[in-house]
Amino acid sequence: MYEKTVTIVAQHGIHTRPAAVLVKEAKQFDCDVMVECQGKQASAKSLFKLQTLGLYKGVTVRVFAEGASAELAVNKIAELLETLS
C-alpha cells in the first residue's frame, strides 16, 4: 500500500467540477484509489462518494492505494487535490 497526506487549499474546496476531474483521472489507474477525510473513506473513482467527504479548504486528506500503479495513482490524485479549484 502507498499513501500520501495533503491539505486542500482550493478556496471553495473540491466541489462537483474539480471532483469530476479527479474521478476521471482516478479511473485511468488499475488500482483501487481511496480518499479519507475526517474519518470517512470513499473511492476516488466515485463522484457521489467523494462529495460525501466534505472536502473543504483546510482539511487534511489521506490518499491511499494498493496495486501495480498505486504510487503513481496516489501521487497524481494527491497533486490534483492540492491544485484543483
Catalytic site positions: 15
Q: Which residue has cell 483501487?
A: 32
CB 56 within 8 A of CB 11: no
